[in-house]
Amino acid sequence: MGKESAIKPLEPGFEQVFAQHPWAQMGAKLAQIGEAQVKKALSRAGQGSPADFMALVSPAAEPYLEEMAHLAQALTRKRFGKTVQMYLPLYLSNECHNSCLYCGFSKDNPVPRIRLDQKAVEQEIAVLKGMGVCQVLLVTGDFSAKRAVEYLGQALDWITPHFAQVSMEVQPLSQAEYQVLIKKGLHGVMVYQETYGPQYAKFHPHGSKADFFWRLGTADRLGRAGVHKIGLGALLGLDDWRLDSFYTALLVSHLEKHYWQSKLSISFPRLRPAKGGFQPEHPVSDRHLVQLILAYRIFNENLELSLSTRESPDFRDQVIPLGITSISAGSKTEPGGYANPNTQLEQFEIHDARSPQAMEKALAQKGLETLWKDWDPHFGKPQ
């Protein structure tokens, strides 16, 4: 199986929506947003349009940050109660044939390459189970699609019996390939476009990831395949965070219209130091990241909002109560990192090194309950 051929899309894809929203034109629109549009967006709390989202991330919304924080928190409590889900990443491999400029797994970095075999995966599972983890996110670099699907299928066989939810953050696959993996118990797939702007080609010069539109169509393929959860986002720091996030919001609206059965999740990966020494050209400040998180919640009250260990303990403690509903803790970003830590193999350095239990305690001090499990694989079994 490879890129789509036999399967014809039944619905118009996001590519068409994207074509109607040129980057430069959206940038000009963003620059013109004033107070009236921000107030209108605030009045539609929880049920906004992509245009409302654009107003909420605009410079014109910056004086409204406190009002936005109250609103976002109230919407989150109404929809999710006082709960925050806990998951951990499980890195299976650092092999990659791409050379994304910002990533420690780039093929240009001279690090040993590893793919965990069954025994090594079982060692990781044992450590994670000992930590009380019930939800994992499998992570790999990009390798040849055929080998990847074979390996991921095997890995799901090894891993799914031990966890309530198993999701993936791996290379984009075809609809048929996703369907194979969903049958094996795959719950969710995270796929970030990184940037929707014209600089995409500069950051992704080689390999399959250089194909912007194959990546852009991934969420549609996932929706058609019927996956339970689709995770979206932009890599913060590559280009204008306001515009990149606007396109993610546009994609959210598209997916909700066409694949309403799938739950949507948004992540906020802010660039962290990695091998290769990449420096983000558009760093995102703490204040702007807060504005972005609040904007997503006010735009759409149903979204899962996820904040990883890329962020500092202090930042996470302040921001999680305002709208975040999913976190990781004690993460390792190298294959085999729980049983045999080796920072030389890390994809990036984490910032919050607290264990899941320490995090649970910190959340409890804020009046929040850690949700280790809210799904049983039995629910996903075909009838």
**Chain residues 141-160 in contact with ligand SF4, contact rule CB under 6 A:** 141-142
The CB-of-102 to ligand SF4 minimum distance in angstroms stands at 7
Nearest-approach distance from CB 96 to ligand SF4, in angstroms: 3
Cα separation, 188 vs 218, in Å, equals 13
Told to check if 105 binds ligand SF4 by CB under 6 A, we report yes
Q: Which helix (H) or strand (E) holds 182?
A: helix 175-183
User: Who's near 284: CB < 8 A, 6+ residues apart?
Assistant: 236, 237, 241, 270, 292
Please check whether residue 194 is in contact with residue 216, taking contact to mean a CB–CB distance below 8 angstroms. no
- Residue 151 CB, shortest distance to ligand SF4, in Å, is 15
Q: Give how far Cα 183 sits from Cα of 117, 131, 160, 163, Å.
A: 22, 27, 11, 16
Q: Tell me which of 86, 100, 181, 327 binds ligand SF4, using CB under 6 A.
A: 100
Task: Pick the closer one to ligand SF4 by CB: 77 or 97.
Answer: 97
Q: What is the DSSP string of 305-324?
A: EEE-TTS-HHHHHHHHHHH-
Tell me how far apart the terminal alpha carbons of the chain are, to the nearest angstrom: 26
Going from the C-alpha of 97 to that of each of 143, 163, 193, the distances in angstroms are 6, 30, 18
Within 218-237, which residues bind ligand SF4 (CB under 6 A)? none
Q: Nearest approach, Cβ of 224 to ligand SF4 (angstroms)?
A: 23
DSSP 234: B
Considering the complex, what minimum distance in angstroms separates the CB of residue 275 from ligand SF4?
10
Q: Which two tokens stand for residue 383?
A: 């009838």
Q: Does 209 bind ligand SF4 (CB under 6 A)?
A: yes
Q: Which two tokens stand for residue 51?
A: 């245009």
- By C-beta, is 85 or 331 nearer to ligand SF4? 331
Minimum CB separation of residue 204 from ligand SF4 in Å reads: 7
- Told to check if 103 binds ligand SF4 by CB under 6 A, we report yes
Report, in Å, the least distance between residue 238 CB and ligand SF4.
11
Q: Closer to ligand SF4 at the Cβ: 45 or 210?
A: 210
Directed axis angle between helix 286-299 and helix 313-323, to 10°? 20
Nearest to 75 by CA among 301, 290, 293, 252: 301
**Residues numbered 114-143 forming contacts with ligand SF4, rule: CB under 6 A:** 141-142
- Cβ proximity to ligand SF4: between 141 and 223 the closer is 141
Question: At residue 11, what is the residue type?
Answer: E
Residue type, 123: Q
Distances (CA, A) of 155 to 125, 126, 199: 11, 15, 34
Task: Using the rule CB under 6 A, give the single segment among 27-35, 101-109, 240-248, 316-324 that binds ligand SF4.
Answer: 101-109
Determine, following the binding rule CB under 6 A, whether residue 346 of this chain makes contact with ligand SF4.
Answer: no
CA distance 45 to 298: 5
Q: Closer to ligand SF4 at the Cβ: 1 or 101?
A: 101
Q: Quick one: which segment of 98-106, 179-187, 323-331, 365-373 binds ligand SF4 (CB under 6 A)?
A: 98-106
Determine how many CB atoms are found less than 10 A away from the CB of residue 2. 12
Q: What are the structure tokens assigned to 215, written together?
A: 């990546």
Q: How far apart are CA 157 and CA 185, in angstroms?
A: 8
The CB-of-142 to ligand SF4 minimum distance in angstroms stands at 4
- Applying CB under 6 A, which part among 92-100, 265-273, 288-296, 306-314 lies near ligand SF4? 92-100
Is the Cβ of residue 192 or residue 246 nearer to ligand SF4 in the bound state? 192
Minimum distance from CB of 372 to ligand SF4 (Å)? 28
| Residues making contact with ligand SF4 (CB under 6 A) | 96, 98, 100, 103, 105-106, 141-142, 209
